[in-house]
Structure 1
Amino acid sequence: MRRVIIMLLPVFAAVLLQPALNAQDVKRKLTYNEYMKAVTEKLPELKRNRLQVLKAENNLKSADSSSDINITAGGSYSSSDEYSSMQYGHTNRVTGYSLNAGVSKRFTATGTTLEAGVEHDFRNTESFGNSHYPSVYLQFSQSVLKNSFGVVDRYAVNNATMQLEIEKLKQAESDKTTLNYYKKLYFSWIETAARIELMKESVGYASAIEADTARKYRSGLVPEEDLLNARAAVSQYKISYEELLSVMAGIEAELAVLFEAGTAPESEELDARYGEVSAAGYGEIPFSGTRSAAIYRLARSRLEYTKGVGENRLLPQLDITGRYTRKAMDSEFPGSWSGLDDSDYYIGFTASYPLWNTGESGALKETELAIDEINTEYDVSENSYRKEVEKLKKSRDSVSRMIKLAEERIRLLQSRYDSVSRKYRQGNYQIQQVIDALRDITEEKTRLIRYKNTLIQYHIDYTDLTS
């Protein structure tokens, strides 16, 4: 009779577990690819990361404003009494207006500014009547020392271009780190679900043992201590089960913004991914080949470029300027524009230089310090990278060995459980030994699930670190 009861323990456990298993079956299973697709599309953190790139693109457009074509126009009217130089105390009433329009453009490739325009002045005096003065002109300004060939003019655009490239790399890096968190969360989701199922089985088996022990106790076949031990084992499994449900509730709450209720991970994904990562290994990837190093290099190049422009800013401002004008004069408006036969021109230079130039000198020194700082940060990051890579490799090897040991121990514990159960049926062992054997095998199976997930987590971290 005792043997029959022990053989029926799995049946009792299955009966106890059936409602929970049915509830699990109605959940929509989510594969890893479906999960990551939804995360990528819905996660607000990724949208926030993209905003930084959009800002950098807008800054680039704004930086190019120095090469915009500028259109200017103006006009004025005047009326005054002018004293005559020929007759003392005599004045002439003078009225007139002035109109002008022009277009200018800065060529950042050469540091040249060109401007072309038209002007029309009109004067009316009591002595001479109407006079019209039309003219057209073309003028230029060319920087020679400071901003020679547009060194300073091009800085805003080139700096914004490099910053945009940096932001694109930063976005990719931030997206990767964010997504890797959710990759790991998916497998932790599976681990927790698997441990819950395992604990359900343990609760069922322990409850069946408790029921058998209670029957024996009522028949006077076992002492009260055995019954209390069986009940304590059930209570402990139920506590562990509730703890796991709490962990699962936390995971589901975190994913509630991305997935509807009633969604569960595909349990087979954990073993499938474990098989992939256990065979993959960790390749030798130097820090210089990572995206983090590329960000450092771009940032350093940007600072070195800024330094070169800063050195140019320390030079004196020397501009060569010139203007050529075609003009005419006539008493009638149409006639004045019939031929612009007269011409004026000039060419010259302007120069300026602030003594000591403390502002630009301070900015240049700050840039040099920033270059030293980023070089130091690169070295620090490279050392941290090497240590982290080595740590992950050793941790992976250690967990791989523990998985093999856990699998072997589960086989041994299963044999021990079968032996203890058989001897219990023969009356040679107490119920506590059966409970202990069940507890040990449950703990080792739980440990194996955790080890497999840990190995997957290490692989994700390594991929994140080295990409």
Structure 2
Amino acid sequence: MLTKIIIILFAIYSSVFAQRRETILTYDKYMERIESLIPEMKLTASIESNAYNDLIRAKSSGDVKFDLQAGAIGTQNYFEQYNFLPQSTFRYNGFRIGAGFSGLIPYSGTRWAVKIQHDGYFGDFDSGNISFPFDATRRMVLPSLRTNNFKYYSPSIKIEIAQPILRNFFGKLDRYPIKDAEYQLTIAKLKRMIDDNSVLNSYRKLYYQWVMARKLVSFYNDMIKGAKDFENRAKRGYTNGVIDNDSYQNAIRQTLKYIEARDEAEIVLKKVLRNIRFFIPETNTIPSERDWNNTLKNSMNAKIETVPFLESIQGQMAHQLKLRAEYGMTIIKNNSMPDLSIVGNLSLSALDDNGFFNSFASMTNLNYFVGLMFSYPIGGRDAKAKMMEAYASLNAVSADYERVNRDYKIQIGIYYDEFQSYKKMLEIKKREINAIVSKINTQNEKFKQGRIPIDEIINSKLELAKARAETLNLEYSIIRTVMDYNSLVMME
């Protein structure tokens, strides 16, 4: 007997000690862990980062290009005798230094280029004797022409500008990669919000599933304990011939029913723990029932009402997708037009022997051109095919917009109906529990008086246990519905 008492006391002490070691993890701390470790959010962040990089890459079309060249130049030309010019050799060596800037102004479509070049020539010109026909009997012979070690410098500056005025009107096509990348970045941000909120919402609900499963396990453990006591009393009554075997077996069935329900709740609890073990590896951590109570209270007082589609994140994303497709259509239409541009170029140059730097002052040679350039592909089949693709894409995006809008409105209506029904069912279930408790109290009095069999009490207790479990499920359903609604309209 003493040994049994010691074992019981040790078990009680161990249970109390274990409870003291349990750490309560609040909902806020739980979500902090989820958000800091969840891999899905890192993936969505990477997708948004890629969209941002695409925008930077698109804006690189406006970067200024710098070119630089430096090197040696030279030539050697040999001339056969022609008219009075004898065989001659012209040769030179030299250098060339050049630098230039070119670029595109994407917001106006202007293409420009500025190039500075400087050539230096060092060489000679060697010719034989030059003879001039004087008459049929005499020829005048002049000495040979020879120029050695000549030096000439030839600087030049060239400016070119092209401005489209029909196709790519003031940079409409040049701006497209930038504008499209801006749309895609906006869409990526909205999609990240939707995806992150969706995955976080699943873990928000998981926390309250954790609380509910623990509550159910604890509830059924208490019911099992009471049922076993009741079963033992029924056994003594059966042994003493007070109750029949069928009543005793019904008491056993009551205990087994509670054990079965407890095992089902433990399966749910184990599933929850497996899902959060990556984030909550500690085995002595439990959720906060206070957070359950506060969230249930707030959920009961929540309002589920229609939020305009375009005010929701889903609506904004669908709208941006539609705007992007419509913008792409305007680009395709402009791309199918003829190419007409105002073009112009201006160049200054010189050929001087006054020295490298002094030669710049002698750039008096001026050449320029101002006019129009026109081009158009005959047939335009490529443009027609792209136009058809753009129309098909726009129709698909518009149809998807209508689908998302329809599903959004339907889902809000479903959440509203569920919320109202769950609240009504919860109120009814509470009244049902009160009625069953009152019935059991009356049945206990009747049983003591021998007016009813024990089976009626057993059946009523099973009904009570079922009603209380259903109450917990209804409370969770209310919490879940409000969370899903907030996730849909991005409210929290």
Calculate the TM-score normalised by the size of structure 1: 0.90
The residue aligned with 1:94 is 92
How much has 1:20 moved relative to structure 2?
6.2
In the alignment, structure 2 segments of 5+ residues that lack a partner are 1-9, 126-146
The residue aligned with 1:117 is 115
Which of 359, 363, 371 is residue 341 of structure 1 equivalent to? 363
Change (3 A) 1:373 1:46: same
SS in 1 for 2:219: helix
CA distance in 1, matches of 2:285, 2:390: 53
Larger radius of gyration: 2
The residue aligned with 2:296 is 274
SS in 1 for 2:356: helix
- Deviations for 1:393-434, whole angstroms, at most 9, x for unmatched residues? 222222222111110110111112222223333444333323
The residue aligned with 2:386 is 363
How much has 1:23 moved relative to structure 2?
4.3
- Deviations for 1:132-160, whole angstroms, at most 9, x for unmatched residues? 21223322222222222111111111111
CA distance in 1, matches of 2:310, 2:349: 65
How much has 1:45 moved relative to structure 2?
1.3
How much has 1:104 moved relative to structure 2?
1.7
CA contact (8 A) 1:82 1:94 kept: no
CA distance in 1, matches of 2:201, 2:229: 42
The residue aligned with 1:72 is 67
The residue aligned with 2:454 is 431
SS in 2 for 1:110: coil
CA distance in 1, matches of 2:300, 2:20: 30
SS in 2 for 1:245: helix
After TM superposition, the structure 1 stretch with the greater mean CA deviation from structure 2, 60-69 or 25-34, is 25-34
- Deviations for 1:98-117, whole angstroms, at most 9, x for unmatched residues? 33111122112221122223
Change (3 A) 1:89 1:330: same
CA distance in 2, matches of 1:16, 1:412: 37
**Percent of residue pairs bearing the same amino acid type:** 22
Residue 160 (structure 1) aligned with residue 181 (structure 2):
yes
Change (3 A) 1:49 1:299: same
CA distance in 2, matches of 1:22, 1:441: 32
CA distance in 2, matches of 1:142, 1:333: 38
Which of 406, 410, 420 is residue 443 of structure 2 equivalent to? 420
Change (3 A) 1:232 1:142: same
CA contact (8 A) 1:322 1:345 kept: no
CA contact (8 A) 2:104 2:110 kept: yes
CA contact (8 A) 1:76 1:97 kept: yes
The residue aligned with 1:443 is 466
SS in 2 for 1:250: helix
CA contact (8 A) 2:305 2:412 kept: no
CA contact (8 A) 2:306 2:412 kept: no
CA contact (8 A) 1:324 1:343 kept: no
- Deviations for 1:261-308, whole angstroms, at most 9, x for unmatched residues? 222111132332222222223223232322212112111112222221
CA distance in 2, matches of 1:26, 1:376: 57
Which of 14, 36, 40 is residue 45 of structure 1 equivalent to? 40
CA contact (8 A) 2:99 2:115 kept: yes
The residue aligned with 1:62 is 57
Change (3 A) 1:420 1:340: farther
Which of 17, 25, 30 is residue 25 of structure 2 equivalent to? 30
Which of 287, 305, 316 is residue 338 of structure 2 equivalent to? 316
After TM superposition, the structure 1 stretch with the greater mean CA deviation from structure 2, 448-457 or 33-42, is 33-42
How much has 1:234 moved relative to structure 2?
1.8
CA contact (8 A) 2:58 2:178 kept: yes
The residue aligned with 1:8 is none
CA distance in 2, matches of 1:154, 1:444: 65
CA distance in 1, matches of 2:122, 2:468: 107
After TM superposition, the structure 1 stretch with the greater mean CA deviation from structure 2, 78-87 or 54-63, is 78-87
CA contact (8 A) 2:160 2:344 kept: yes
After TM superposition, the structure 1 stretch with the greater mean CA deviation from structure 2, 323-332 or 48-57, is 323-332
Calculate the TM-score normalised by the size of structure 2: 0.85
- Deviations for 1:216-248, whole angstroms, at most 9, x for unmatched residues? 334443344333332332222222212211210
CA distance in 2, matches of 1:68, 1:24: 66
How much has 1:78 moved relative to structure 2?
4.2
CA distance in 2, matches of 1:367, 1:355: 21
Q: What are the within-5 Å matches in structure 2 for residues 15-414 of structure 1?
A: 23-24=18-19, 26-84=21-79, 87-127=85-125, 128=147, 129-261=150-282, 262-331=284-353, 333-334=355-356, 336-337=358-359, 339-347=361-369, 348-414=371-437
SS in 1 for 2:419: helix
Q: Which amino acid aligns with 2:309?
A: F
CA distance in 2, matches of 1:119, 1:34: 68
SS in 2 for 1:337: helix
Residue 462 (structure 1) aligned with residue 457 (structure 2):
no
CA distance in 1, matches of 2:96, 2:166: 36
Task: Give RMSD over aligned pairs.
Answer: 2.4
Q: Which amino acid aligns with 1:367?
A: A
CA contact (8 A) 2:304 2:415 kept: no
CA distance in 1, matches of 2:275, 2:384: 52
Q: Count residues with an aligned counterpart.
A: 453
Change (3 A) 1:68 1:307: same
SS in 2 for 1:361: helix
**Greater relative contact order: 1 or 2 (C-alpha under 8 angstroms, separation 6 or more)?**
1
The residue aligned with 1:5 is none
CA distance in 2, matches of 1:393, 1:301: 31
The residue aligned with 1:4 is none
CA distance in 2, matches of 1:244, 1:137: 84
After TM superposition, the structure 1 stretch with the greater mean CA deviation from structure 2, 123-132 or 112-121, is 123-132
- Deviations for 1:71-120, whole angstroms, at most 9, x for unmatched residues? 01224534443133563543333334333111122112221122223211
After TM superposition, the structure 1 stretch with the greater mean CA deviation from structure 2, 31-40 or 456-465, is 31-40
